């Protein structure tokens, strides 16, 4: 598998008192309590703004300095577009776009931030730091590298914000070559996201932690409120909140603030759960390798797409539907209409369509459109569109 390798660990140690440890033995949780990465943050929360993406070796150190700068300029812990623009030395329009994108991918609505566009919109500094941290995440590339010929490069230039993520083939070539099977699956992406979190969790916790008097592991602590902000990155599959799932915060008296917990203890717990989820997901992925040929049957040729329109089936019968994502893929020279009854969940992806008109007439939270040429995509009642 020629997927993009994970980035090397940052050169700068996160903290002398909180260093990444060897992943512990998998947790004893049941599969129903899997810790999963939040797809919304990793798929819809990345922006092609160079100054939001810091060098890997300096990521932790740069964000720690940014935290100090923001904390000094926003005593209420709320970051507005002007403060973010000044701290990052970017235009205020880009800072406003960053806050709007953050608002769209938060796990719960922040009334002070709103949609990020209202006057006085301000994001929690902890959410801003997490949002900026994942800008360094690199998506998986196709398993099979495709080289652009000069002719293809002329008419189908690579203009993706995420270099190497999309196939170099044009949509019509992609379908004809049946190369969709080489694209990373949702399961592949989830494993990749978990690996990113596993590698960077020590830095992330250090960035969020408060410093207190003490030595070693006791000098950095996380409050329950700060711990809950990790819900921007991860969630339990059955909907349990992080603080209720964590033994050190579970069943805390709502009328009494929970005692802050050493960051090292939180790191151990997070690492344990991530390791278990990685093991479980990897085992399932390996088990599905034998069914790869069956899954590749989804990748019909252009002629088959035109005659059978197999991808116009409802999500319940469409194997391309995975974890509340509906795919509209591989159409050429046709019109496609998706009504609310055809879409299950709150997210849709329109990809590799050519010379077609696609109508998505359903209330959705997220829509992703990529790899299309000479196509018109009509979206109705969608919260956020990524192209």
Q: Do 152 and 168 form a contact (C-beta atoms < 8 A)?
A: yes
Angle separating helix axes 186-208 and 59-73, nearest 10 degrees = 50
pTM of structure: 0.71
> What are the tokens at 176?
């004809």
Selected residue with higher pLDDT from 379 and 144: 379
Dig out the tokens for 356 from the structure: 């077609």
pLDDT of residue 326: 85
Give the number of other Cβ atoms within 10 Å of residue 19's Cβ: 14
Model confidence pLDDT, tens digit, residues 9-46: 444 444 444 665 554 444 444 445 789 999 889 988 99
- Surface-to-core class of residue 49, CB atoms within 10 Å of its CB (0-12 exposed, 13-18 middle, 19+ buried): middle
Q: Where are the alpha helices (DSSP H) in 143-262?
A: 150-155, 171-176, 186-208, 224-228, 242-245
Contact 379, 360 (CB under 8 A): yes
Tokens of 266: 């939180």
pLDDT digits (tens, 9 = 90+) for 274-286: 999 999 888 877 7
The pair phi, psi for residue 262, each rounded to 5°, is -55, 135
Contacts 24+ apart (CB under 8 A), 304-307: 305/175, 305/330, 305/331, 305/332, 306/332, 306/333, 306/334
Each residue's pLDDT tens digit, 230-241: 999 999 977 788
Report pLDDT for 327.
Answer: 85
How do residues 53-100 score in pLDDT, each as one tens digit?
998 889 999 999 999 999 999 999 999 999 999 999 999 999 999 999
Going by pLDDT thresholds of 50, 70 and 90, the confidence category of residue 385 is low
């Amino acid at each position: 598998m020629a997927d993009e390798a994970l980035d090397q660990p940052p050169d700068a140690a996160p903290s002398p008192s909180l260093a990444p440890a060897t992943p512990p033995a998998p947790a004893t949780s049941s599969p129903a309590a899997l810790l999963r990465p939040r797809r919304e943050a990793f798929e819809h929360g990345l922006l092609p703004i160079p100054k939001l993406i810091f060098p890997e070796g300096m990521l932790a150190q740069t964000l720690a300095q940014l935290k100090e700068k923001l904390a000094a300029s926003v005593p209420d812990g709320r970051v507005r577009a002007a403060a973010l623009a000044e701290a990052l030395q970017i235009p205020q329009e880009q800072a406003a776009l960053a806050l709007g994108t953050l608002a769209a991918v938060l796990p719960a609505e922040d009334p002070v931030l709103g949609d990020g566009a209202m006057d006085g919109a301000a994001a929690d500094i902890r959410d801003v730091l997490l949002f900026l941290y994942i800008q360094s995440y690199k998506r998986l590339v196709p398993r099979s590298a495709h080289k652009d010929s000069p002719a293809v490069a002329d008419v189908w230039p690579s203009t993706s914000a995420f270099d190497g993520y999309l196939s170099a083939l044009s949509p019509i070539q992609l379908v004809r070559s049946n190369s969709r099977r080489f694209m990373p699956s949702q399961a592949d992406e989830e494993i990749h996201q978990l690996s990113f979190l596993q590698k960077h969790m020590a830095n992330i916790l250090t960035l969020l932690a408060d410093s207190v008097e003490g030595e070693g592991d006791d000098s950095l602590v996380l409050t329950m409120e700060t711990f809950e902000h990790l819900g921007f990155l991860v969630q339990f599959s059955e909907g349990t909140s992080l603080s209720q799932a964590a033994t050190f915060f579970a069943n805390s008296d709502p009328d009494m603030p929970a005692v802050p917990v050493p960051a090292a203890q939180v790191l151990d717990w997070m690492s344990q759960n991530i390791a278990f989820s990685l093991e479980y997901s990897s085992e399932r992925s390996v088990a599905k390798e034998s069914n790869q040929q069956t899954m590749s049957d989804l990748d019909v040729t252009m002629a088959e797409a035109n005659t059978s329109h197999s991808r116009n089936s409802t999500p319940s019968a469409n194997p391309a539907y995975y974890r509340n994502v509906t795919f509209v893929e591989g159409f050429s020279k046709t019109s496609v209409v998706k009504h609310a009854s055809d879409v299950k969940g709150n997210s849709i992806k329109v990809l590799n369509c050519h010379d077609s008109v696609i109508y998505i007439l359903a209330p959705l939270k997220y829509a992703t459109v990529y790899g299309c040429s000479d196509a018109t995509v009509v979206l109705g009642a969608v919260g956020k569109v990524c192209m």
